[in-house]
Amino acid sequence: MRAGEFTVRQSHSISFAQAVLLAGLLLACGILSAQSEHSVSVQAKALMEAHAWQRVIDVLAPVQVRTADEQFWFGSALAHVGRWNEAEAAFAAGEKANPRDARFPEERAGVAFHEKRYADAARLLRRTLRLSPEDAYARDFLATVYYLDGNLPAALKYWNLGGKPMIAAVRQDPPMRIDPALLDRAFAFAPESELHLKDFLNTRARLEGLGVFPQFTMELPARSDGRFDALLRAQELNGFGTSRWQMAATLLVGLPFQSVHLDAYNLRREAINITSMYRWDAQKRRVEAELAMPFERRAAYRLNFALDLRDENWVVRESFTGVAPSLGSMNMRREALRFDLASHATEKLEWQAGAELSHRDFRSVADGPALTADLLAKGYALKQVARVRSVLWRVPERRLVVRATGESDAGRLWSSSPEAFEKLTGSLGWHWFPKAQGIDYAMAHRVSAGRTWGTVPFDELTMLGLERDNNLPLRAHIGTRDGKKGSAPLGRNYVLSNWEMDKNLYTNGIVTAQVGPFVDAGAISDPNAALGSHEWLVDVGAQAKLRVFGKGVAFSYGHDTRTGNNAFYVTLLHTSTGGE
């Protein structure tokens, strides 16, 4: 054996011994370290159970890498001594390391709640419930956050999961003049019972259906025994107005449009309402009146009787401005009587069914391609009308509601050659309050469509545009020219999209001022080539709304992106009733 070989082997033998010794030392250190960490964890847990918050902080603060439990204890102790930012950081670190642990978003929600960041607290509690759906504390906590934020539907959604809240009494502030028995029937819940979200929403639908509360809110003041009162706060319409200012607002709002409105509400204290309008505009005279009352003194159902008399001059044109030759003109006189029964029993599905008897006559007709013999058929018509309105989807947490409507008009016209027709219309739309609380901003979008079969008289055509008797607005297309109707697109089949956003500028419960942008897009067609829009129309612009005692006007500016036309228009807003 060579000397060099012996030396190498000896060197290897020494290195192996050193390695064994080093491994032993590392193992011993690891055991000691684990024992030390275990000791810290046990000590911190015992201190937590003793509520020795500062000592928990002192024990865990030097630890470089904390377990999930240690992060939870550390953050909890920091929160108990008021070190909220550090507590939030500890809980956030724990959640980052353990994203499936529901304790961390729940505790972070507690920090946000203490700092009155209710939107953040709600978001974190929703995450908690996704991780731990059976967490009763998180459900109640989330309901409380929504309650304090003023979002009662969302609060009820989560309270109901735990059999809450219990209603002790139903109160009014101020006291209402409406018949107490009738008002009581509007409530879908009773004292000494649990308030369910469905009953809350159904009550709101019935109160809106009564037509005497232009604005109302339902609140749940807490009682010392853990129960709640249901408190209705509302403006109430009575007679011709509760004050001279309210009566003046009703009478004078239509004067710029050569019309006067005379409305009377809550007659005999039974929510019997009469609304009427007389317009003396020489180009479009109109008398309109409607009587609405509860059916069999039930708040959920209403009878409506309506009279509508019109004497209008029409000139059909392709535009309200510029060069637009007449495509036909005439004077139309129309008289109609309508009766229907409406149900507001549930918010989920409201319906209306009735009949209309009408008569039309066309005079001073100037021939043109738009006015065919079928459209100018004179005589009586009997029409059956059915409407439904449904809430398809409600997300209380997001303050989002999706609604759908449908309407069927089936009629028969008795003229020189009797004809039958059918009109089907419908809409799908959503309404959203983007902010977590209040009604400072509102956004809405509705898509409407309609189709007609059979032969219809001229007064059954649809108009897309701005006109005070029309409810399908394209806000850069005005429906009158020189005061005469007919300058907006007319036809039998249409599609229309209306998007708008409102920003509250001022409100005090009586006066409300809003402003916001809009985008309208639509198309209308007809077998008669002289009618319809012939292509898609897109209007953009802005509008301002002003309401006083529920009555109001809208000032709009619209720009037609196809022709470049601009339209300034003022129209009356329908009386609004309801809460948020």
* pLDDT greater at residue 29 or residue 130: 130
Question: Quick one: pLDDT at residue 242?
Answer: 72
Q: Mean of the pLDDT values across residues 245-264? A: 84
Res. 446: pLDDT tops 70:
yes
Residue 558: which of 488, 479, 499, 476 has the closest Cα?
A: 476
Question: Quick one: pLDDT at residue 415?
Answer: 81
Say what percent of the chain tops pLDDT 90. Answer: 75
User: Do you know the residue count of the chain?
Assistant: 580
Q: How confident is the model at residue 13 (pLDDT cuts 50, 70, 90)?
A: very low
Residue 524: which of 533, 515, 516, 537 has the closest Cα?
A: 533
Tell me the torsion sign for CA atoms 527, 530, 531, 534: positive
Question: Quick one: pLDDT at residue 18?
Answer: 54
Residue 195: which of 223, 148, 224, 229 has the closest Cα?
A: 229
Domains within the chain, CATH numbers bracketed? 244-573 (2.40.160.50)
Phi, psi angle pair for 180, to nearest 5°: -55, -35
Q: Mean of the pLDDT values across residues 535-555? A: 90
- Amino acid occupying residue 318: E
Q: Mean of the pLDDT values across residues 135-163? A: 95
- Parallel, antiparallel, or unpaired: how do β-strands 259-261 and 264-267 relate? unpaired
Find residue 430's DSSP bridge partners.
402, 445
Instruction: Report d(CA 406, CA 411) in Å as an integer.
Output: 17
Helix intervals (H) in 81-151: 84-97, 103-114, 118-131, 136-148
Res. 10: pLDDT tops 50:
no
Q: In what order do the strands lie in the sheet with 228-234?
A: 193-194, 166-172, 228-234, 216-219
Return the CA Rg of the chain: 35
Q: Which of 283-292, 408-417, 527-536 has the lowest mean pLDDT?
A: 408-417
Maximum pairwise Cα distance, the chain: 135
Say what percent of the chain tops pLDDT 70. Answer: 92
Question: Quick one: pLDDT at residue 439?
Answer: 83
Q: Is residue 548 within 8 Å of 243, Cβ to Cβ?
A: no
* pLDDT greater at residue 387 or residue 22: 387
Residue partners of 186: CB distance under 8 A and separation at least 6: 203, 206, 207, 210, 299, 300
Instruction: Report d(CA 578, CA 563) in Å as an integer.
Output: 39
- Parallel, antiparallel, or unpaired: how do β-strands 379-395 and 349-366 relate? antiparallel
Q: Which of 110-114, 499-503, 570-574 has the lowest mean pLDDT?
A: 570-574
Q: Mean of the pLDDT values across residues 559-567? A: 95
Question: pTM value?
Answer: 0.86
Instruction: Report d(CA 132, CA 143) in Å as an integer.
Output: 16
Three-state SS for 55-84 is HHHHHHCCCCCCCHHHHHHHHHHHHHCCCH
Q: Which of 50-64, 199-213, 488-502 has the lowest mean pLDDT?
A: 50-64
Distance of CA 462 to the CA centre of its chain: 27
Instruction: Report d(CA 217, CA 200) in Å as an integer.
Output: 11
pLDDT tens for residues 367-402?
Answer: 899 999 989 999 999 999 999 999 999 999 999 999
Summary mean pLDDT of the chain: 89
Both structure tokens of 199: 């009953």
